[in-house]
Structure 1
Amino acid sequence: MSMLSLYAWTENASDKISFILYTDNEKYFEPYFKDIQITFVNLTPEVLADWKGKDNFMFRVKVKAIQDATIKYPDNDVLFLDSDTFLYTDSGPLLAMYGQDKTILYAREYSFNEAVSKGGRNSSLFLPVIKNNKIRIQGLEFEFSGNNYSWNTGVIGFSHKNLNLIDLSLELTDYLYERVKVFVIEQYSFSLIFQTQTNVQASDKYVYHYYSRKKPVDEYVLKFVSEVVQLNDLNNKKIFVKKFTADLFEKIKTNPQWEDRPVLMDKIKLLIERKGDVRILKHVLSIIKNKLLMRY
């Protein structure tokens, strides 16, 4: 749905976009991309093991996949999409954002100082690693701080003139993950490199990343894949995809409770695992309070 939505919402997409899909199940995806230019890269167990690196970090695979695409197609601009994203409007303004001094991420979330002050565990573990510390990467010296922001990286876009950003992000990911095992390290690395080297622009006006609403949205994704695969005519497929994703985005906007349910359940599970951590308990109570206020 992510890739087909980009295709459907892009005018003359066949002339502008070449897809690369990293998967361990190419045959599953082939029927969905009939008559659409796409390259499949087979993620074998050996490739995955190599890309996870010496610390077996799963999200390092994301950085390596993007780097692999830049090596294969060094003259192309890159737009990476997490699988739980979809476009819901015309992509023209999004694809016009590229430039040597401009990069694209999904949305700005929080400064590390803000997160720590609110009891954010990931930022609390992470901030001491970068605070008052000069980090040298590929001959460049970086000084990051708690005033830097974490950006959601469900979308990552950059010009072919900025391929070095990925090499820097990968090396920073390895440097940071070796020192603190926070699962969002690759996101922090992209955020720090992109915002200190370029002007970062948000893409959430064109793309929706449903990472906090997977459970309810997945029901629509299953419906999407079962219906779109039956459409062989490319024009009819584009019409269907545009309507489906636009309607789905409207449904999401009018169902705010979709976000609370999965988040609340995840937090309750975490609360049990950590045997009543006060910070998590406060977060659970805050979600419940907001839910009650919304209802009454």
Structure 2
Amino acid sequence: MNLILIAFGEKIENHYQAVYSILTFLSSAIIERIIIVTDNPDMYEFLEDHVIVSAVDSNTMESWRGRSDFFWRIKIKAIEQAVNLVDSGHVLYVDSDTFLYSDLTEIRDGLASGKTYMHVCEHVLHQAPGRTMRKMWKTLGGNEYFGFKIGNNTEMWNAGVIGIPAHKASEILSKVLVLCDRLCETDAPNRLLEQLAFSIVLSSDGCLSASSHCIGHYWGNKPEWNKYISIFLVASKLKKNSVVDDVAVITEQGIPNIPLYIKKHKLADMLRRVAARIDSVYRSGKAGWR
């Protein structure tokens, strides 16, 4: 099984999240190869004995956004590049803000039998909460795109994990890419369209299953996880740990009991942003305070 990650941009958090995710998966003998597609290959040099680094430049990333200039189309193209790079084995893509916490045997066996995987089903599309999802349903509901009907049974799955059997990988990724492009041509909010495209294509044969029983995804609580991971990696550096040492530490200590999701309150978030802005202005002296 090939593990695939992507990590782009200058934000250091994107990269140390990916490193920690890789370290958790290195404990599994089921993972045969790990490929990371990135525009910052230097960040991963210390993993060179354990990871295949597939470097991309800004021009390639720009072209991957397609005619609709959709950022998350990059995700589909990056997975496609990694699949073409190794050209064999089942595909297990994970977002950088994930970790392995249990055995992958069930997923390996499921992929071998033709199942596909995403992280978890979040909503039936027409019942999904939030303005974005309601507008998405209003625009897309009842219509057909690239042979896929979006109806009352259409589900939105979380795309933090994507598992595809080896023999289906190229065909499925091609379909997802075309469907994503077709959806981007509509007036639907595009923030989650690549996720919807994966959800529709992977569920089309009725064999889509969840992977949350063994892979955690902390998209809803990145600040706490980022703090933990940064401390872990700094401690590793100070102790001059090897990659093998880090994997052993994670295996021995286990995954920390930090919530994966914390409900945010809009008013509290707004007040925090206002306070941060006031503090920034004060410190810069632009307000004339002394």
- Pair 1:206 & 2:200 matched: no
Identical residues among aligned pairs (%): 24
Q: Distance in 1 between matches of 2:258 and 2:62?
A: 39
Q: Distance in 2 between matches of 1:131 and 1:53?
A: 24
CA contact (8 A) 1:76 1:160 kept: yes
Q: Distance in 2 between matches of 1:228 and 1:89?
A: 23
Matches for 1:66-215 after TM superposition, within 5 Å:
66-99=79-112, 101-115=114-128, 118=129, 120-136=130-146, 141-163=147-169, 164-179=171-186, 180-215=188-223
Amino acid of the structure 2 residue aligned with 1:237: D
Superposed displacement of residue 17, structure 1: 1.6
Moved more, 153-162 or 224-233: 224-233
Which ranges of 4 or more aligned residues in structure 1 deviate by more than 6 Å? none
1:225-254 per-position Cα deviation (integer Å, ceiling 9, x unaligned): 2234532262x332212245x341x2337x
Superposed displacement of residue 100, structure 1: 5.2
What does residue 70 of structure 2 align with? Answer: 57
What does residue 239 of structure 1 align with? Answer: 248
Superposed displacement of residue 197, structure 1: 2.6
Q: Distance in 2 between matches of 1:173 and 1:233?
A: 37
CA contact (8 A) 1:112 1:127 kept: yes
Find the residue that maps to 1:153 and give its secondary structure.
coil
What does residue 26 of structure 1 align with? Answer: 41
Q: Distance in 2 between matches of 1:121 and 1:267?
A: 20
Q: Distance in 2 between matches of 1:268 and 1:227?
A: 31
User: 1:251/1:181 Cα in 2 relative to 1: closer, same or farther (>3 Å)?
Assistant: closer
1:100-143 per-position Cα deviation (integer Å, ceiling 9, x unaligned): 5310110111101211xx4x22222222343232323xxxx222
1:145-194 per-position Cα deviation (integer Å, ceiling 9, x unaligned): 13211000101011111121111111111111121232011111100111
User: 1:269/1:175 Cα in 2 relative to 1: closer, same or farther (>3 Å)?
Assistant: farther
In structure 2, runs of 5+ residues without a counterpart are 1-19, 274-290
Find the residue that maps to 1:46 and give its secondary structure.
helix
Q: Distance in 2 between matches of 1:85 and 1:209?
A: 4
Q: Distance in 1 between matches of 2:139 and 2:24?
A: 39
Amino acid of the structure 2 residue aligned with 1:168: K
TM-score by length of 2: 0.78
- Pair 1:224 & 2:232 matched: yes
Aligned length: 249
TM-score by length of 1: 0.77
